[in-house]
Structure 1
């Protein structure tokens, strides 16, 4: 393979890898996974508290 062709392919692959890394970095910054875990945790706590609370008397119509 001609050296300049090899160098051109190398630069193209490096640009692809940089673009992929930038996309991954932006996605990681946009939505931290801990926020989802925190919301899920508090939702489970709320459901548990509702299940543990004493039942209300049924209304008669």
Structure 2
């Protein structure tokens, strides 16, 4: 059996995996600002809920 076809198949698969990794990296980098906006939004919601909640009344 010759190793050339297997080597060519390996090179093709390696190139495909590199392309998938690059696409994933780009997608992750593009998604980060959205994640920051989401985190900030939920933080503002939490602060708003704390401000809107009635203060506890302690009976003596």
Q: Same fold (TM over 0.5)?
A: yes
Q: TM-score, normalised by structure 1?
A: 0.65
Relative to 1, partners in 2 of residues 1:42 and 1:26: Cα closer, same or farther, differing over 3 Å?
Answer: same
Q: Match for residue 31 of structure 2?
A: 31
Return the alpha-carbon distance in structure 2 between the equivalents of residues 39 and 31 of structure 1.
Answer: 15
Q: CA RMSD in A?
A: 2.1
1:29-50 superposed Cα distances (whole Å, 9 cap, x missing partner): 1121641222211221112212
Return the alpha-carbon distance in structure 2 between the equivalents of residues 45 and 5 of structure 1.
Answer: 62
Flag structure 2 segments of 5+ consecutive residues without an equivalent: 56-60
Return the alpha-carbon distance in structure 2 between the equivalents of residues 13 and 26 of structure 1.
Answer: 20
Q: TM-score, normalised by structure 2?
A: 0.66
Residue 52 of structure 1 and its aligned partner are, at CA, apart by 3.9
- Number of residue pairs matched by the alignment: 53
Q: Match for residue 44 of structure 2?
A: 42
